[in-house]
Copies of this chain bind each other. A is one copy, B any other.
């Protein structure tokens, strides 16, 4: 199937697909006239890429996952390289969360200091101030 239809079915733009190809993921076969031809199985690869991007991985990071699927595994995460990347990302996320919690506390304190009672907010009251492990 050609890029237009494939893009719709994969839920991405043709531009994104060409970009993935340019980055060395998702190589499409070519028709005689030069048009890209995608296989059904490529849908799975794109889905993996999208999932990972949505999870905050870079496109670069998706490489081992895609390769893992291409190698015939049911999950893109079962290969050693994928695991390495996933663990690194997990550590990054933990760092980001810690940073955000610190910032949240600082801003919250600022608000409390600045105008006392008007601080917390309307709907969600103190979502993370308590109950944090460490």
**A residues touching B (Cβ–Cβ < 8 Å)?**
55-56, 75, 77-78, 82-83, 86-87, 89-91, 93-94, 96-98, 100-101, 103-104, 106-108, 110-111, 113-115, 118, 121, 124, 126-128, 130-134
- Residues of A contacting B: mostly: helix
10 closest Cβ pairs, A-B complex: A77-B114, A131-B133, A78-B114, A77-B110, A55-B103, A93-B104, A97-B100, A131-B131, A94-B127, A93-B100
Chain B positions within 8 Å of A118 at CB level: 83
Report A40 CB to chain B, min CB distance, Å: 24
Given contacts A77-B111, A86-B110, A111-B86, contact A97 B128 (CB under 8 A): yes
Could you show 5 A-B contacts with beta carbons less than 8 Å apart? A77-B110, A77-B111, A77-B115, A83-B114, A93-B103
Q: How many copies does the complex hold?
A: 2
Chain B positions within 8 Å of A106 at CB level: 55
Query: How many Å lie between the Cα of A107 and that of B115 in the bound state?
Result: 40
Assess whether B127 is in contact with A111, with CB atoms less than 8 Å apart: no
Given contacts A96-B100, A132-B131, A133-B130, contact A90 B107 (CB under 8 A): yes
